[in-house]
Amino acid sequence: MSHSCTLTSRVEDYLHVKRQLGYELRCQGTQLLAFARFAEGRGHRGPVTLDLALRWARDSHSERPITAAKRIEVLRPFIRYLQQYDPDTEVPPHRILGSTHHRPVPHIFSDEEVEALLAAASRLSPRGGLRPATYETLFGLIAATGMRISEALRLERSDVMFEHGMLSVRKSKFHRSRLVPLHATTIAALRRYAHLRDRLLPLATDDNFFLSQWGCALKIWNAEDAFCTLRRRLGWVARGEHQAPRIHDLRHTFITNCLLRWYRRQINVDNAIAALSTYVGHVRVTDTYWYVSAIPELMAVASQRFERYAREIADE
């Protein structure tokens, strides 16, 4: 690689080409430029080697193997691009540092924890104001439907169809939309919240269903801050692989509890899981099947069911 054509300039050219094709590459672009600075800072000359790529991938503050695996996978398309300029460029083999798709086991809330969360939310200050009602209803909705926090916060007033007993979730993850039927108790809770919101904020013009006490759309960092406050007050200790329970774990809990009920009631999970996958907005049914192997409670029930099946086969 010539002095006039630096690795940084190659990265910039690559990003320009990819973005012209519609790829954003925000995080990847930042990492590729960091790789170029790493190489140039160490005086690297000539084609990119496997050793150089591996040294950069492992040069991270995180000691988790998956971090290095993800970093090397970011490099692979760019290094393939470099081969057209220098055939001696060494492209890292696929998954040379392992899988990049480990999902940490979530915290699965007990019924008592969910009840405690909603009760604590209802006691937030100011008492009798919109803020406690907002968080009690928001967290209760996520627990009752498995919605993503981003989906709940983007709900507009017209998306909550009281007369039909369902929500319209528009342009969610991967630009997918869906209808979410609701239990009668969930509809009643949303009605109570809407009535209080309109009574306390009669002049609010924001179309969002969930509003702050100042009449503005609720932001995700507002919800995260309130959840962290409640988590500290409740003294929760994480049971999953994350440092602490998260709002998103309410979604995991909903899906897990659905599967647990089906297994315990001897319902054919293979037939029902497609409906659940659609209900929660999963793109692939395999995303929903992941819970069966990842959640200890589900794994235990599935194993017991298989043991009964095996005994029946042996007795025939």
pLDDT tens by residue, 74-96: 999 999 999 999 999 999 999 89
User: 107 pLDDT exceeds 70?
Assistant: yes
Q: What are phi and psi of 156, to 5 degrees?
A: -100, 165
pLDDT of 24 above 80: yes
Backbone angles phi, psi at 168, to 5 degrees: -110, 115
As a whole number of Å, the CA-based R_g of the chain is 25
Q: Which of 71, 148, 197, 252 is catalytic?
A: 148
Average pLDDT in the chain: 91
Q: How far apart are CA 39 and CA 47, in angstroms?
A: 11
103 is catalytic: no
For the question of residue 291 being annotated catalytic, the response is yes
Burial of 101 (0-12, 13-18, 19+ CB in 10 A): exposed
> For this structure, is 171 an active site residue?
no
Among 138-147, 150-159, 295-304, name the one with the lowest average pLDDT: 295-304
- Residue 160 · residue 209 · CB < 8 Å: yes
User: How many Cβ atoms from other residues are within 10 Å of residue 136's Cβ?
Assistant: 21
Helix 296-315 and helix 285-294: axis angle, to 10°? 90
Choose, from 64, 173, 176, 261, the residue flagged as catalytic. 173
> What pLDDT shows up at residue 299?
75
- Is 173 marked active-site? yes
